[in-house]
């Protein structure tokens, strides 16, 4: 996502829905993740739109939380660096990092 797309998204969100509680957006994100899961399992032709819904809500949630585009980029880079140093394994079909 570009910075301009992020700014457009945040502007659209605020103009369209006004100020929302973070918990409301988290609830909507959970709903969209369930839809994404189903679309993947069913090999639905709309799976990319379900990914987009999830990405949009994550960026909106970060913006509502007060994160700027640069904050998001920096936190992703920092977390990726941490994850690269971790050891990973699969537990009951779920990828987890070793403690």
| 10/82 Cα distance (integer angstroms) | 28
| 57/77 Cα distance (integer angstroms) | 20
Same domain, yes or no, for 47 and 1?
yes
| 33/25 Cα distance (integer angstroms) | 12
Q: For 46-98, what is each residue's pLDDT tens digit?
A: 999 999 999 999 999 999 999 999 999 999 999 999 999 999 999 998 999 98
Same domain, yes or no, for 50 and 97?
no
pLDDT for position 42 = 95
Same domain, yes or no, for 14 and 59?
yes
Same domain, yes or no, for 4 and 24?
yes
Same domain, yes or no, for 58 and 73?
no
Same domain, yes or no, for 23 and 39?
yes
Overall domain count for the chain:
2
Domain of residue 79: give its range.
Answer: 69-99
Averaged pLDDT for residues 15-38: 95
Averaged pLDDT for residues 29-38: 97
DSSP H helices in 18-68: 22-42, 47-65
Same domain, yes or no, for 62 and 77?
no
């Amino acid at each position: 996502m570009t910075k301009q797309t992020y700014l457009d998204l945040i502007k659209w969100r605020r103009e369209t829905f006004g100020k929302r509680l973070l918990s409301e957006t988290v609830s909507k994100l959970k709903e969209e993740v369930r839809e994404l899961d189903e679309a993947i399992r069913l090999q639905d032709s709309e799976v990319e739109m379900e990914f987009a819904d999830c990405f949009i809500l994550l960026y909106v949630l970060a913006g509502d939380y007060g994160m700027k585009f640069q904050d998001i980029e920096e936190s992703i880079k920092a977390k990726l660096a941490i994850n690269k140093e971790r050891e990973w394994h699969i537990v009951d079909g779920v990828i987890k990092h070793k403690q």
